[in-house]
Structures are given as structure tokens and as C-alpha cells.
């Protein structure tokens, strides 16, 4: 009987500022060329919060100031791996994002831009949830 592949722990940061979300275009699998929240794998010996701060800095050059877990999602990646993703609602120090590491683009994007953007399904879902909560 085949065994279930080991889940890979990962984190991402849902960051909203002035009605825009911080997104990166992924430069590698999983979800290569799709826009998503900045984030990545939790390395051995790291807490989820440490991984979030490291990944955000590597992918955007921005420093996290606050972060709290929002939601956990299990994703089947296009690389045939399973990811247990913890999405954090976070804030960052002021600054302009600069794409780095495995991000090919980074920036602040408004809701008007989302319709034309290739977003991962989970990113689109979380954005819609957070926009709904903000409007309530």
C-alpha cells in the first residue's frame, strides 16, 4: 500500500496596505508564474514566524513588523508535493518591495488588477475573504 507523501510545512503573508495587497510572481514551482502572497517553506529548526520573516525579506526585501496566523490550508502543488500552508495576516515596515530569491516580480496590487492577474486559487480565496471582512 503506497504511503502518503510527507507534507511540507510552508508559510505566506497576507499583507494589505492602503487597499492593496503585497504579491509576488512565483519564479519557481509550485505555481510558477502565478501571483501569490510572499512566503515559502519552513526550514528545519525554524518556527513558522521565523520562516515568514525570512521568506518575506528574501522575496520582497521588506521586514515584517507584526504577524498572526489567519488560516491553514493543505495544497497539492503542481510539483506533486503536498504543502501545509499557514497564512498569516501581517504588516511590514514601510518601503517598496523588490523581487528577490524565487520571486520574479513583487509589488502592491489593487483589487482592480486582480481580475486580469494569474493568481493562485488560495491567494484569490484569501483576498476575497479579507476584503469581505474589511467591508463588514
Q: Annotated catalytic sites, by residue?
A: 105
Interior angle at CA 12, CA 85 and CA 113, nearest 5: 120
Residues 6+ apart with CB under 8 A from 71: 86, 87, 126
| Burial (CB count within 10 angstroms: exposed 0-12, middle 13-18, buried 19+), residue 132 | exposed
C-alpha distances in Å from residue 75, one per residue of 7, 18, 64, 78, 119: 9, 29, 24, 9, 14
Q: What is the DSSP letter of 119?
A: B
Q: Which DSSP category does 112 fall into?
A: H
Residue 25: Cβ within 10 Å count: 19
Amino acid at each position: 500500500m503506497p504511503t502518503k507523501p510527507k507534507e511540507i510545512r510552508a508559510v505566506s503573508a497576507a499583507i494589505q496596505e492602503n487597499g492593496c495587497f503585497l504579491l509576488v510572481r512565483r519564479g519557481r514551482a509550485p505555481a510558477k508564474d502565478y501571483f501569490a502572497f510572499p512566503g515559502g517553506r519552513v526550514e528545519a529548526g525554524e518556527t513558522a514566524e521565523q520562516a515568514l520573516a525570512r521568506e518575506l525579506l528574501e522575496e520582497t526585501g521588506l521586514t515584517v513588523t507584526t504577524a498572526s496566523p489567519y488560516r491553514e490550508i493543505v495544497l497539492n502543488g503542481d510539483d506533486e508535493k503536498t504543502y501545509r500552508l499557514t497564512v498569516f495576516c501581517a504588516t511590514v515596515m514601510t518601503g517598496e518591495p523588490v523581487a528577490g530569491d524565487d520571486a520574479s516580480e513583487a509589488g502592491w496590487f489593487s483589487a482592480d488588477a486582480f481580475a486580469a492577474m494569474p493568481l493562485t486559487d488560495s491567494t484569490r480565496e484569501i483576498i476575497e475573504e479579507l476584503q469581505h471582512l474589511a467591508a463588514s
